[in-house]
Chain A
Amino acid sequence: MKIHEYQAIELFRHAGIPVAGGQVAEDIDEAQDIVSTLGFPVVLKAQVLVGGRGKAGGVKLAKDKIELEKYFSEIKALRIKNYTVEKILIVKALDIEREFYVALTVDNVKDDVVLIASSAGGVDIEETAKKSPEKIHKIYMGGQKEVDPQQWPGFLRQVFPEPNLQAPAGAILQKLVQVFYKLDCSLAEINPLVMDKKGRWFAADAKINFDDNALFRQPEIQKLIDFNYEEPDELEAKQKGLSFVKMEGNVGCIVNGAGLAMATMDVIKLFGGEPANFLDVGGSSNPEKVLNALKIILKNKNVTSILINIFGGITRCDDIAKGILEARQQIKISVPLVIRLTGTNEKEAKELLSGANLRMFATMREAIQEAVALASKI
């Protein structure tokens, strides 16, 4: 789960990490109120949950009232990677002396949390990591929830060569580590961490992503979710226990298990078709799930055939069959259905469906070939 910069800044402020003063505005009146307390110059920052904001023109420096009005309406009118800008964060412009990069994340290859820091902060940090990897410093947590005191001074010396920077920067990094563990983050990033000309430190940007699996023990974080960023169909699917991603093609698919669902999409493509979606009905066996899955897929007007590919393990084929029959009674299925049911309770499923005049196939290959052929007929 992702949150907006202004929300992450609030969490940082709460944790004692210094942040530049500022607030979000939804309209120009609010913006002017905020600026009346901050004073010019200010930085306007579009609040969107996608990367590439700066390059899309979503960050602007305003030196006076005229610029504020101009840039505010410009940013408000932007669509950044197809998302509208609802809120703009307005912060006091900093008099930057130095910019650093600091972040914590989980390294899935080393199975550990890693703290990354660099004296080359800013938008080009990924370039730096590629071209001058010696400027990126990492310290692994070794399964602990705090940095190893033995390694810590050496790490700080590498990132912050000037001795007078090490204490204030080190304190901020320690707090970032605490936030990461306390809130079950998957990413906590400050880029840039700024020291201004007066030697004051600020987290001038804030990104936090959370581990979805840990949200059950982070009720305060759950409240921060921005539903504008959930595809309505994908959100509906999630609420119904389905995992759904809409795609561009015309062969709708309902599969159990993510791996088999991906393999089904790949083989559809192999036989010259294009999948209309990824849909995993999950492991449990509830006829209702098939009905809901069909409803969601049928909303997509590009779909010209639907393939149901089930390998019953925990999922019972007869439950899927019941779901198909129920769906045929409740909704109008206007496109051809192609069905492949194998595994647990396959025999019972076939008996249930025997009089239903459905296209049934024994193997995944045959079913996919038929679904692809039917999809392109229309």
Chain B
Amino acid sequence: MSILIDENTRLIVQGITGRDGSFHTQKMLEYGTKVVAGVTPGKGGQSVHGVPVFNSVKEAKKMTEANAAAIYVPAPFAKAAMLEDIDAGIELIVCITEGIPVLDMVGIKHRLKGTSIHLNGPNCPGLISPGKSKVGILPGHIHRPGSIGVVSRSGTLTYEVVYNLTMSGIGQSSCVGLGGDPIIGMRFIDILKLFEADRDTKGVVLVGEIGGEDEQQAAQFISSSMKKPVVGFIAGKTAPAGKRMGHAGAIISSGDTTAETKIKVLRAAGVEVVDSPDEIPARIQQKLK
């Protein structure tokens, strides 16, 4: 098993006729992902790498029984692309696009409330269930099938971590890059729940970074509801502090979003937090014994 995507995932690529959409459609097809449709308004009837292009998600879903969508459209059009998926009832939306206005995402999050739709991203590398399917821009060849779940807020740092695991002979059940924006769809806690419930995931690697409170929420969930071992790394111990102005941020947040605090609360929740990403394979192996 795996989480969110597998051999039954039937994918629509929004923005398939663009440079990135076309390139990554090819890469996903090579990996074995079932890319069943592309969508670019006004370009219905064309095909890209043998994938039929439709004018709308609704039409594409009807014709191909797609159940997931990957978004590669430019930031000004990303909100409309996500709304199209939500209206069409697409179960999993993976938004790769970066630079989406925050207020657009506030609107999207509100629309998602009360639905069972999963949104991954935006500004994310996507996700992969090795050997079955990949959706997004992750390099497929560094992964190998196995039983470790990887969840991360970063892109290339995820690749680094996965590469270290694979080089040590440790395969992955699924790997999810959550995305780097302040407002994103699924967060650590959502993915941890799925990994905890997934029969084939034996342990989890969590890669966090400074800013926000997602790691703190993850720590709470891990200590209260997780039995599987978790090994973590938090990037940004040496990062310069952000320049701040105005009081509203300090009033609404509990304040401390440094790497040190996150490491402390994760350790208190039983997470093995390492100092360097290449220590992860040995630690997760130890934990699984």
A183 to chain B, nearest CB (A): 10
Taking a contact as CB atoms under 8 Å apart, the answer to whether A343 and B183 are in contact is no
Contact among A105, A184, A270 for B248, CB-based, below 8 A: A105
Q: Tell whether A15 is near chain B: CB-to-CB under 8 Å.
A: no
Q: Given A112-B110, A364-B278, does the pair A256, B156 have CB atoms closer than 8 Å?
A: yes
CB distance from B103 to the nearest CB of A (A): 6
**22 A-B residue contacts at CB 8 Å?**
A50-B245, A51-B244, A105-B246, A106-B183, A108-B182, A108-B212, A109-B213, A109-B252, A125-B251, A136-B251, A143-B106, A181-B103, A214-B104, A247-B240, A257-B155, A258-B154, A259-B154, A266-B235, A267-B277, A270-B275, A283-B155, A363-B278
Asked whether B37 is an interface residue with its Cβ less than 8 Å from the other chain, the reply is no
Q: Closest Cβ of chain A: how far from B221's Cβ, in Å?
A: 14
Contacts of B159 on A, CB cut-off 8 Å? 260, 311, 313, 343
Residues of B within 8 A of A (CB): 75-76, 99-107, 109-111, 113, 125, 137-139, 142, 152-160, 163, 180, 182-183, 207, 209-210, 212-213, 233, 235-240, 243-253, 259, 275-278
Q: Considering only CB atoms, which chain B residue lies closest to A271 in the complex?
A: B276
Q: Is A323 an interface residue (CB 8 A)?
A: no
> Is A359 in the interface zone, CB < 8 Å from B?
no
Closest to A115 in B: B248
The answer to whether A214 touches B102, judged by C-beta atoms less than 8 angstroms apart, is yes
Does A112 contact B106, Cβ atoms closer than 8 Å? yes
Distance in angstroms between the alpha carbons of A301 and B105 in the assembled complex: 42
CB < 8 Å neighbour of A138 from B76, B239, B252: B252
Residue of B nearest to A280 (CB): B156
For the complex, what is the distance from the CA of A313 to the CA of B137, rounded to whole Å? 7
Given contacts A111-B183, A259-B156, A283-B155, 14 further A-B contacts (CB under 8 A): A50-B243, A104-B248, A107-B253, A108-B182, A108-B183, A184-B101, A191-B247, A257-B154, A260-B235, A263-B235, A266-B236, A266-B275, A312-B139, A315-B156
With CB as the reference atom, state the residue of chain A lying closest to B214.
Answer: A109
A184 neighbours in B (Cβ, 8 Å): 101-103
How many residues of chain A are within 8 Å of chain B by beta carbon? 68
Main secondary structure on chain A at its contact with chain B? mixed
Chain B residues with CB below 8 A from A352, complex form: none
Q: B108 to nearest A CB, angstroms?
A: 9
Residue A314 interfacial (CB < 8 Å):
yes
A213: contacting residue among B99, B237, B238, B239, CB under 8 A: B99
Interface residues of A (CB under 8 A from B): 2, 49-51, 101, 103-109, 111-114, 116, 125-126, 129, 136, 138, 142-144, 181, 184, 186-187, 189, 191, 207, 209, 211, 213-214, 216-217, 245, 247, 255-260, 262-263, 265-270, 275, 278, 283, 311-315, 342-344, 363-365
Q: Given the complex of chains A and B, what is the CA–CA distance between A111 and B246 in angstroms?
A: 19
Cβ A311 vs Cβ B238 within 8 A: no
CA distance A207 to B125 in the complex (A): 35
Complex Cα gap A186–B235 (Å): 25
With contacts A343-B142, A364-B278 taken as known, whether A259 is within 8 angstroms of B235 at the C-beta atoms is yes
Is there contact, CB below 8 Å, between A260 and B160?
Answer: yes
Give chain A residues whose Cβ lies under 8 Å from the Cβ of B111: 143
Task: Check A129–B251 contact: CB distance below 8 A.
Answer: yes
Shortest CB-to-CB span from A340 to chain B, Å, is 10
Chain A contacts of B75 at CB under 8 A? Answer: 213, 216
Closest CB of chain A to B273's CB: distance in Å? 12
Question: A115 vs B235: C-alpha distance in the bound complex, in angstroms?
Answer: 32
**Most interface-central of A114, A263, A365 (chain B CB within 10 A):** A263
Let me know if A113 and B106 touch, CB within 8 A.
Answer: yes
A125 touches B275 (CB 8 A): no
Closest chain A residue to B182, Cβ basis: A108
Collect the chain A residues with CB atoms within 8 Å of residue B250's CB. 126, 129
B125 touching A262 by the CB < 8 A rule?
no
Residue in contact with A113 in the complex, picked from B103, B163, B210, B278, CB distance below 8 Å: B103
